[in-house]
Amino acid sequence: MTEQCRNTPAGEPPSGAGGPEWCAGACKPSEARRAVARVVVACCRAGRPCGEHAVSDAQLVASELTTNAILHGGGVTEFQVELVGCEVRVCVSDRSDRLPVARAVAADDGRSRLGGRGWPIVCRLARDVEVLDLPSGGKRISAVVPLS
Q: What is the pLDDT along the chain (148 residues), one digit of tens a residue?
A: 222 333 333 333 333 334 567 666 668 999 999 999 988 888 888 888 788 888 899 999 999 999 999 999 999 999 999 988 889 999 999 999 999 887 766 667 767 666 678 899 999 999 999 999 999 999 999 999 998 8
Note the Cα 148 to chain centre separation in Å: 18
> In this structure, are strands 76-84 and 128-133 parallel, antiparallel, or unpaired?
unpaired
Give the phi and the psi of residue 102 in degrees, each rounded to 5. Answer: -85, 125
